[in-house]
Structure 1
């Protein structure tokens, strides 16, 4: 079947020329969007970039440019419920999913598209935030990744000791009383970067990158997404518990955490990396949650480490990984 073209907002992506997107329909009938950049010379492999909650394909155009310079193509995804994929709640500002494992249906059709497009092998996973949880499960379930990397992966969600019991109780109880589509305490119905000032934001220390995110959403408001539903939170917490119980996949792994990370649970990340044979954890000085959207000097170091990790994984060191 010929892939169906979808809108691609090259006026704001800042990536290599020739980026494009396609509509995909999942096994449960949800329409999602996948986009890719494959400029000339990007034939040493493909980075399958799994974005975080609220994100969208075009946000990673600059990242695709960094990978293209190293000879790597990039594919990114609009997960169900965000970007211009099908929204799953009447209020399109609400981040919602019925079951967290439904994201694996999105992974399935995205990987099928990568095959149909014959994107260069080997394929490398790069999961940011929520995409780190989705990607970890996909890797555990045998997705054809040669290596994996994560930035601020959502292997735990940070909640203050005072808020944690309330948040977990609400996530569990509210859906039982028909209130599962309400926002958790402390979250907003509108996009974080549009509703919050740059000062003391939790994403990046770089004012230009923060402004870039704002410009993208100002130009294409349909990409914007606010806080998650309580059902999403319930499902995310359940997924985190399940992933924590499972052994790490037998893949080379590199994980980045910002020194001032305030969104995900850093202790859970450290525990996962410590239990993953050969995995490496890099704490990025002066950085917040989005190390790929940080100040230029920070970004340069992060992308240098990522591309070296992917390219050095082209020839696995043991037979189990090459099977």
Structure 2
């Protein structure tokens, strides 16, 4: 495999466990955990194995805050497990988007727990318009996750429990860690949503009304597919095609554009996150995609600077030549990111 690199995120001092102050790069050549490759995805029998593992998961529902139905899936190891992982997904996402990642983690001995956040995926909506990206209270994301943890993970007496959060799920996950300091042994964050590109947060406060309304430029889900060459999520053609196909097979899981309310409540949450960062006790690893066009990556630098000033334990990396969706990126970026996550879990 061609050599590829993760570059440390601006402040190398945040990397407490593995490097000296003058540390510059991480270099690896091996697919240490036998993570799925793009060539394997082209094999129909291999792709079917991924589907079979996903279909074998136990699915269920629980009632979240304000009586919203929350959908989940659980993938328990049949015998001895290494640990459990709770996945907190991004906006518009659903468990079906994580089939390949679930397959890879499961094959490495982990039990997997994932729920669709309220207002998206196969969970209940808070608006009459099924496609609206809306949240009644950002804290409810966290409350739902806590209920899922307490009722479906903790009683199972796992040896260890890790958090794996992506994008919006990162904001949910960090809030969770600030409010529940001992629930996870370690946490990994892929392109966490810690800020939106200015002047979005300032402008939305002038436009928000009392009723849910699509933000400027946002619409219902558009079935006219964005061509791979025009997408701003991933550089992997085959993984992008699999993403589109997964949601086409389950149209109920699709979600459209964000409302002013969702944007405003997310922006308010960013302030809360940074104001309460001192409460986090969980070791953290953070990955920032070099070519991310979805969230404000400058917020990652701010996070690392503050975490370093508070002497928090963690590591932070820029993933070179990567777009926002690290878990469906090309092999170089995806495998290296997952390698580092599993190394981090092994250390904790």
Q: Distance in 2 between matches of 1:63 and 1:74?
A: 10
Structure scoring higher RCO (CA < 8 A, sep ≥ 6) equals: 2
Gap runs ≥5 in structure 1: 1-9, 314-323
What secondary structure does 2:277 align onto? coil
Q: Distance in 2 between matches of 1:81 and 1:20?
A: 21
Question: Are 1:34 and 1:76, in contact at CA under 8 Å, matched by a contact in 2?
Answer: yes
Matched, 1:156 2:195: yes
What secondary structure does 2:100 align onto? helix
Deviations 1:115-155 (A, max 9, x none): 37616331111110000000000001115011111001011
Question: Are 1:46 and 1:119, in contact at CA under 8 Å, matched by a contact in 2?
Answer: no
Match of 2:41 in 1: none
Shift in Å at residue 189 of structure 1? 1.9
| More displaced 10-residue stretch of structure 1: 273-282 or 134-143 | 273-282
Q: Distance in 1 between matches of 2:236 and 2:107?
A: 22
Deviations 1:168-211 (A, max 9, x none): 33x324444x4x422222333215x8542211311100011111
Residue 311 and residue 15 in structure 1: after superposition, are their counterparts in 2 closer, same or farther (change >3 A)?
farther
Map of 1:280-291 to 2, 5 A cutoff?
280-291=315-326
Matched, 1:54 2:92: yes
Shift in Å at residue 234 of structure 1? 0.8
Structure 1 runs (4+) greater than 6 angstroms displaced: 10-13
Of 182, 188, 194, which aligns to 2:219?
188
Map of 1:3-22 to 2, 5 A cutoff?
14=51, 16=53, 18-22=56-60
Q: Distance in 2 between matches of 1:155 and 1:137?
A: 11
Q: Distance in 2 between matches of 1:197 and 1:186?
A: 19
Residue 93 and residue 38 in structure 1: after superposition, are their counterparts in 2 closer, same or farther (change >3 A)?
same
Q: Distance in 2 between matches of 1:47 and 1:194?
A: 35
Match of 1:212 in 2: 242
Residue 174 and residue 150 in structure 1: after superposition, are their counterparts in 2 closer, same or farther (change >3 A)?
same
Q: Distance in 2 between matches of 1:275 and 1:284?
A: 21
Shift in Å at residue 13 of structure 1? 6.6
Of 225, 232, 238, which aligns to 2:255?
225
Matched, 1:129 2:162: no
Match of 1:139 in 2: 177
Residue 42 and residue 59 in structure 1: after superposition, are their counterparts in 2 closer, same or farther (change >3 A)?
farther
What secondary structure does 1:16 align onto? helix
Gap runs ≥5 in structure 2: 1-46
Question: Are 1:100 and 1:236, in contact at CA under 8 Å, matched by a contact in 2?
Answer: yes
The normalised TM-score by structure 2 is 0.79
Q: Distance in 2 between matches of 1:202 and 1:119?
A: 40
Matched, 1:242 2:275: no
What secondary structure does 1:188 align onto? coil
Map of 1:160-171 to 2, 5 A cutoff?
164=199, 168-169=202-203, 171=204
Match of 1:320 in 2: none
Q: Distance in 1 between matches of 2:231 and 2:80?
A: 35
Match of 1:269 in 2: 300
Question: Are 1:158 and 1:262, in contact at CA under 8 Å, matched by a contact in 2?
Answer: no
Aligned length: 295
Match of 1:44 in 2: 82
Shift in Å at residue 103 of structure 1? 0.8
Residue 15 and residue 132 in structure 1: after superposition, are their counterparts in 2 closer, same or farther (change >3 A)?
farther
Shift in Å at residue 243 of structure 1? 0.9
Q: Distance in 2 between matches of 1:118 and 1:194?
A: 43
Query: CA-atom RMSD, angstroms?
Result: 2.2
Question: Are 1:273 and 1:279, in contact at CA under 8 Å, matched by a contact in 2?
Answer: no
Match of 2:123 in 1: 85
